[in-house]
Amino acid sequence: MIQRPPISTILTNQSIPHSVFRHLASVNSLEQAAAERGQTPDQIVRSILFRLEQTQFVMVLVAGPGQISWRTLRQQLGQSRITTATPEEVLAVTGYPIGAVAPFGLCQPLPILVDESVTKQEELSIGSGVRGTAIILRTADLLRALGDVTIGNFKAA
**pTM of the model as a whole:** 0.94
| Residues 128/137, Cβ–Cβ less than 8 Å | no
pLDDT tens per residue across all 157 residues of the chain:
567 999 999 999 999 999 999 999 999 999 999 999 999 999 999 999 999 987 899 999 999 998 999 999 999 999 989 999 999 999 999 999 999 999 999 998 999 999 999 999 999 999 999 999 999 999 999 999 999 999 999 998 7
Contact between 85 and 95 (Cβ < 8 Å): no
Can you tell me the distance from the alpha carbon of 127 to that of 98, in angstroms, rounded to the nearest whole number?
Answer: 9
The H or E element containing residue 111 is none
Residue type, 119: T
